[in-house]
Chains A and B, each alone.
Chain A
Amino acid sequence: MSTTTVAHHEEHSDHPTGIMRWLTTTNHKDIGTMYLTFSLIMFLVGGSMILGIRAELFKPGLQLMNPDFFNQLIGVHALIMIFAALMPAATGFANWMIPLQIGAPDMALPRLNNWGFWLLPPSAILLTLPFTLALFGIGDGALATGWTFYPPLSVQGGIGVDFAIFAVHLLGISSVMGSINIIVTLFNMRAPGMTLMKMPMFAWGWLITAFLLVATIPVLAGAVTMLLTDRHFGTHFFDAAGGGDPIMFQHLFWFFGHPEVYILLLPVWGFIPQILQTFSRKPMYGYKAQVYSLWAIGALAVVVWAHHFFTAGMPVPALLYFMYSTMAISLPLAVLFFCWIKTMWKGSMTFETPMLFAVGWIILFGIGGLTGLVLADVAADAQYHNSYFVVAHFHYTLFAGGIMGIMAGVYYWLPKMTGHMYNEKLGKLHFWLTAISFNVTFIPQFFVGLAGMPRRIPDYALQFAEFNMISTIGAFILGLSQLLFVYNIISCARGGQKATDKVWEGAEGLEWTLPSPPPYHSFNEQPVIK
């Protein structure tokens, strides 16, 4: 990919200033910044909640909270981390980087973009408000069903369930709007000469994510709406006595829920290869193979949902189908792993913070993938189901595979976005603390899970005490190390060593042809790709 013309307009400040700039902005960079900031704040909120959980689990017995509050913290932690931390972070990167990477002046639908963001803060308030209301004696706290809303518990639950249902509606509308915007941008706004098969990998990852979102978020919205009418309007979608079926909710939920896993990961699979390529100083290996693998995973994602509830009871042919189709996902994923490793192979590698995160990500996400393969085995799953083994597995995929990937992206693009270099020493320290304490937190959970400790229970048998103590210590180090991350981002935004346009020696792509930080309006005349 080579660029012949790059034109920018000079900075013109025709936009409002102060708070009105942020409320009314339709600029993709402003909206991207708001998404990323919101995501960072909610990451800290969701993280503090889980530290409460880990503190309770430090010792067997009940010390700090009653089981009801424990359940509320668990469910809201998951919803916040998934919908308010990981998804907005990916959308923030999409807003910032997709127009820059494909040479577009802005996102295709700027007003929709503004609306999409401003639905997020109200839904975060809806999710957490029941905690505060309970302090004043209104209701009995937040959603206590876990993030999966399984009936009949969610039909019987208090007002926290209603708040969470409306929060999910808003979050769903927001991410559907974001997805429509990204699909339209990628199809209509690419620079002349940039064919689909010349798109940066990040754009590909997001295109498939956006398709998954528009296809599956409405199913979740439908399912929680049925839950709402079951709760308040006398319908019996999930009420066995009225002819409904609670298992049907599990099918509807996971029809969304499994693609959701890939919705969280596909954007990361997009930009990690770009980071690997930058710091290996050689072209990305197997571009086409990666694109086709992303498509294959996107397609398989919507036909494997029932492996989340093998133990709910299914005919043997259905069990076999869901087992084999789930395991089949590991084939395209193995192609991706191969391409990532081959991209680094014999490259002249350097290990700046983004690269450390990217390489650590490959290893830890690999562990997440392999333990998932074990869970996909119907026979083995009966033992692992609902145990801490599952908790450890999905944190390897979603914390290591999701959040640590996002961190790699933050360090990679932060100098481009702010125009300053972050503190490299602190960045590296942040990586090592995160990677080590993450493993200290979650490796013990594999062991207690195998030994039979169930998830979502505030108390446990004495034999699990040592492992839980180690896990809690790891979790607190992990949580506190994120303060370094926050400090590094803030100080980088406020000043520091000036970043060059290209920032990284081996960086490739249109975003690196613009100054750091890029002007408020960029690519008003689109570059031509040969």
Chain B
Amino acid sequence: MAEHHSTEQKAANKKLAIKVLYVVIGSLLFAFALVPLYDVLCSITGLNGKTDNTAATLAKAKVDASRMVTVQFVSAVMPGLGWNFYPKQTSVTLHPGQVETVLFVAKNTTSETVSGQAVPSVTPGKASTHLKKIECFCFVNQALKSGETKEMPLRFFISPDLPKDVKELTLSYSFFKAPGK
């Protein structure tokens, strides 16, 4: 029972217990800090094929005419979204630095207006930071009325810094039902 510990002993125990409690609180904070850290780490390294989801400016990117890169397009619609969604062309071949526009088609097959959000992913991961989007339907939510079909453009280029061994990359879009809509 508690009275078997002397007063000094109790004070010392309490002091150390509080110190260990700081470690516990620290690692709880660490868990939440991992959320932004993970995001930063993914965009720097291209882990998970995460691409930069903001508009890139066409900074005097020089066209590297010495090589060709094939970009393939893949699409998926996640459960809960009653859409058809597919790329109009399965792939394009282009020089790094050359700007290209491709079209994706989405059709709302349900009887109500629905908003969706496209989430991109690039394979191989190390190429993901080199796919630069100037204009993309994935930057914002897309709303489709019942039965509406929409052609959505993606304007992009491949950065000339793309590692030489990457000759083919795949851009995949998954359309999710926009949260809360």
Contacts and interface: CB of A to CB of B under 8 A. Distances in A.
A108 B31 contact: no
A248 B5 contact: no
Interface in B25-48: 25, 27-28, 30-32, 34-35, 38-39, 42, 45-48
A90 B23 CA distance: 22
A315 B28 contact: no
A110 to B, nearest CB: 5
A85 B84 CA distance: 49
Interface residues of B, number: 42
B13 to A, nearest CB: 4
B31 A221 contact: yes
Interface stretch (A48-56, A131-139, A181-189, A331-339): A181-189
B34 A251 contact: yes
B31 A219 contact: yes
A222 interface: yes
A15 B4 CA distance: 13
A214 interface: yes
A106 interface: yes
A252 B31 contact: yes
A295 to B, nearest CB: 17
Contacts, number: 116
A241 B20 contact: no
Given A234-B179, A245-B42, A215 B27 contact: yes
B17 interface: yes
B10 to A, nearest CB: 9
Contact of A245 (B12, B48, B125): B48
Contacts of A245: 38-39, 42, 48, 50
Interface stretch (B95-103, B106-114, B148-156, B170-178): B170-178
Contact of A252 (B13, B34, B116, B177): B34
Interface residues of A, number: 49
Nearest to A219: B31
Contacts of B180: 234
Interface in A55-77: none
Contacts of A15: 1
A12 to B, nearest CB: 10
Nearest to A230: B179
Contacts of B2: 26, 110-111
B136 to A, nearest CB: 15
A105 interface: yes
A428 interface: no
Contact of B17 (A105, A184, A218): A184
A456 to B, nearest CB: 20
A241 B16 contact: no
A318 interface: yes
B4 A214 contact: no
A108 B5 CA distance: 8
A521 B179 contact: no
- Say what secondary structure dominates the interface of chain B: helix
B49 interface: yes
A381 to B, nearest CB: 18
A237 interface: yes
A252 B36 CA distance: 13
Interface in A207-245: 214-219, 221-223, 226, 234, 236-237, 239-242, 245
B140 interface: no
Contact of B119 (A112, A176, A184, A241): A241
A491 interface: no
Given A187-B16, A236-B179, A241 B78 contact: yes
Contacts of A184: 13, 16-17, 20
B117 interface: yes
B24 interface: yes
A247 interface: yes
B126 interface: yes
A451 B28 CA distance: 41
Interface in A191-217: 214-217
A119 interface: no
10 contacts: A106-B4, A214-B27, A219-B30, A223-B31, A241-B119, A245-B39, A248-B35, A314-B125, A315-B46, A318-B47
Interface of A: 14-15, 26-27, 105-106, 108-112, 176, 179-181, 183-184, 187-189, 214-219, 221-223, 226, 234, 236-237, 239-242, 245, 247-248, 251-252, 255, 313-315, 318, 521, 524
Interface of B: 1-2, 4-5, 9, 12-13, 16-17, 20-21, 23-25, 27-28, 30-32, 34-35, 38-39, 42, 45-50, 78, 116-117, 119, 125-126, 174, 176-180
The 5 A-B residue pairs with the shortest CB-CB distance, nearest first, are A222-B31, A241-B176, A218-B28, A219-B31, A218-B27
